[in-house]
Homo-oligomer: A and B are copies of this chain.
Amino acid sequence: MTVLPERLSVTEETSTPKTSAPSAQHMIAFSPSGKRGHFAAGVSVLEAARRLGVDLDSVCGGRGICGRCRVALVEGADVKRDIVSAATHASPPGAVEERYARLRGAFGPGERLGCQALICGDLLVDVPPESQLHRQVVRKRAEAYPVKVDPVVRLYYVEVAPPDMADPASDFRRLAKALSEQWGLGESSARLPVLRGLQKILRDGQFAVTAAVRHGREIVALYPGLKERVCGLAFDIGSTTVAAHLCDLASGNVLASAGRMNPQIRLGEDLMSRVSYIMMNPGGDRELTAAVQDALAGLARETAAEAGVATQDIVEVTIAGNPIMHHLALGLDPSELGMAPFALTIDAGFDLPAAEIGLALAPGATAHALPCIGGHVGADAAAVVLCEGPYLSDELRLIVDVGTNAEIVLGNRERLLACSSPTGPAFEGAQISSGQRAAPGAIERLRIDRETLEPRFKVIGCDLWSDDPGFAASARGLSATGICGSGIIEAVAEMAIAGILRPDGIIDGELAARSPRIVADGRTFAYVISQGEPRIAITQGDIRAIQLAKAALYAGVKLLLERYGVDKVDRITLAGAFGSHIDPLYAMALGLIPDCALDKVASAGNAAGTGARIALLNAASRREIGEVVQRIEKVETAIEPRFQAHFVEAMAIPHASDAFPHLESRLGISFARAPSAEPRRRGGRRRG
């Protein structure tokens, strides 16, 4: 969390010739870094680490109070490793370490404070992960890249000279001097809200304070005495939900996460209806901005309370969101994004005082809005790109983040393309007659018997399939409340496979004679999954909504593939809540995504949220994504004639075995040739 001054010269073994009296120098080796060097007796382990560039933390600057430089002196290292290490080769623990142990808990075997243990012989020093300054946030997925914790804000404990009438230097000047002298920082600055609390905090701490300093220059918060932890908040602002992750800026750990419905929904379900609201209602943009900013402020309070952290300890914020949410959250009128040529106010990532968007955090807390890729591909897509790192990949990657719009990114380290496709909310269970969000009670898996056309399904919150003997006894089983996005995909795909759907997407009414599941529904037909209360069925309108959504998604993908000049990709990543629940097999069967080896299709979870978290925890990542975004070729679906063509073509319901012959066995069932299999073949979708 803190850095050490860099002005002292390094006495590294490789760069320094052996001195004339090597006997006076002791060999110190650090693990796990493997760095080693010779130092004179009396040098502290912390100082040796600093000179060698070993990643050893310190907030208090070697005063023995923060304990962040705890190390273990390893006994009995192999002599062949040129190290004879023993606790006797370091100065014995003194009063400072005894006080620390009394106040903060005893030391383990060999454990010492690096700032207090002085070298008096060869030593092998183990730096435990919790004492490393730049920890790696280990990702769970193999294809994800590790991220170093290296935040823009670090803590510096300083002892400031008290005021002196004979030298009227202001409190701020003496604080800046202490930061310069004790930590090697350059010129410090602070914004007015930070200055406003300065005098009281200095006196509360009896002139010993911890400063949270941004980019080594700007003091964004000040705390009396030793402060060991400050936090950051990563926001992912979706059209439907707003999510926040509160992170410890030193460890990178997520302390609390929370989400809530985007309160703008009452002013317009989807993005375009919100832009319309603004165009129809003067001041409507301020109303929408107030709604989302209230939600952000509420999430800040909620996550802070959950983690037991004061909101004043939150010093940095990152914001990802689609272009319209990005603009509304920042109080930028998004009207121009509602019509061609879809001009953004600003596309580059930029910093603003968090208070300017209504967040009451640390007095100098700064929010960093991630860059937008284009008028339709926002900071959420940039966050997904940052999370997934296709720009570091040799493989050709397709990344699809399905929300109310689908953000699609295609490329590798050579070239990157991106577009946004208006899928609408159908994949999220909205605008579907029995649709609901993925919550307990929702049907999430569905299979249809190819002969009887009877369904079996699974409900969120119950491990049993509906045809398992115990299902009826389960309260859940009796009360399926609707069908969520992944359930709808499987339902439509299974209906197609079972021959209930014709290639043009019409529910085949002739089948009503064969199965009571096919029933008339006005002038069309519906497939009834559950006769319970409520009745759950897939109507012709639902099929149309899914057809439109999947056609939009696929047309966008197709456009990028064409532009790139390929027809298949090496790896597909499905991001977002929808991508987390969907079975890739069915996504492929229904033609949502192009052909790809199934083991190369994976969900990335909330990649936009993770990207916002990476930007929060790693300073360099902000520059990195800023540069990458400039390299991305933006494809505007709205003006691409080919998009319409692809869209119309992709409206068809493919017969899975036509499209992906290898899927038949993968689906774990043999594809039944439904009675209407022959005519279906005719209209089958041709794939390029």
Point out the residues of chain B lying under 8 angstroms from A375, CB to CB. 165, 168
- Whether A347 contacts B169 by the Cβ 8 Å rule is yes
- Whether B168 contacts A636 by the Cβ 8 Å rule is yes
Stretch at the interface among A143-151, A190-198, A600-608: A190-198
Interchain CA distance A261-B195 in the complex, whole Å: 27
> Given A192-B331, A332-B196 in contact, is the A344-B171 Cβ separation under 8 Å?
yes
A372 at the interface (CB under 8 A from B): yes
- Whether B199 contacts A345 by the Cβ 8 Å rule is yes
- Whether A346 contacts B168 by the Cβ 8 Å rule is no
The count of residues in chain A whose C-beta lies closer than 8 Å to any C-beta of chain B is 47
* In-complex Cβ contact of A638 among B165, B634, B638 (8 A): B165
A341 at the interface (CB under 8 A from B): yes
A31 at the interface (CB under 8 A from B): no
Point out the residues of chain B lying under 8 angstroms from A173, CB to CB. 346-348
- Whether A347 contacts B172 by the Cβ 8 Å rule is yes
- Whether B196 contacts A374 by the Cβ 8 Å rule is no
Point out the residues of chain B lying under 8 angstroms from A199, CB to CB. 332-333, 335-336, 343, 345
A95 at the interface (CB under 8 A from B): no
- Whether B345 contacts A171 by the Cβ 8 Å rule is yes
A142 at the interface (CB under 8 A from B): no
- Whether A340 contacts B165 by the Cβ 8 Å rule is yes
**What is the distance, in angstroms, from A23's C-beta to the closest C-beta of chain B?**
50
Interchain CA distance A195-B634 in the complex, whole Å: 23
A330 at the interface (CB under 8 A from B): yes
- Whether B348 contacts A170 by the Cβ 8 Å rule is yes
> Given A173-B348, A348-B173, A352-B191 in contact, is the A168-B333 Cβ separation under 8 Å?
no
Interchain CA distance A331-B193 in the complex, whole Å: 9
Interchain CA distance A515-B340 in the complex, whole Å: 93
**What is the distance, in angstroms, from A197's C-beta to the closest C-beta of chain B?**
9
**What is the distance, in angstroms, from A200's C-beta to the closest C-beta of chain B?**
7
In chain A between 151 and 203, which residues have their CB closer than 8 angstroms to a CB of chain B? 163-166, 168-173, 189, 191-193, 195-196, 198-200
- Whether B345 contacts A168 by the Cβ 8 Å rule is no
Name the residue on B nearest A373 (C-beta).
B168
Interchain CA distance A195-B372 in the complex, whole Å: 15
**What is the distance, in angstroms, from A347's C-beta to the closest C-beta of chain B?**
4
Interchain CA distance A200-B332 in the complex, whole Å: 11
Interchain CA distance A375-B167 in the complex, whole Å: 10
Point out the residues of chain B lying under 8 angstroms from A163, CB to CB. 336, 341-343
Interchain CA distance A353-B357 in the complex, whole Å: 15
A103 at the interface (CB under 8 A from B): no
A280 at the interface (CB under 8 A from B): no
Point out the residues of chain B lying under 8 angstroms from A357, CB to CB. 192
**What is the distance, in angstroms, from A45's C-beta to the closest C-beta of chain B?**
38
**What is the distance, in angstroms, from A377's C-beta to the closest C-beta of chain B?**
8
A639 at the interface (CB under 8 A from B): yes
> Given A170-B343, A345-B170, A347-B170 in contact, is the A332-B165 Cβ separation under 8 Å?
no
Since A165-B340, A171-B336 are in contact, a sample of 19 more A-B pairs with Cβ atoms closer than 8 Å, ordered by chain A residue number, is A163-B336, A163-B342, A164-B341, A165-B636, A165-B638, A166-B639, A168-B343, A168-B375, A168-B636, A170-B346, A171-B343, A171-B346, A173-B346, A192-B331, A192-B352, A192-B356, A192-B357, A196-B331, A200-B333
- Please list the residues of chain A having a beta carbon within 8 angstroms of any beta carbon in chain B: 163-166, 168-173, 189, 191-193, 195-196, 198-200, 330-333, 335-336, 340-348, 350, 352-353, 356-357, 372-375, 634, 636, 638-639
3 A-B pairs with least C-beta separation: A168-B374, A163-B343, A170-B347
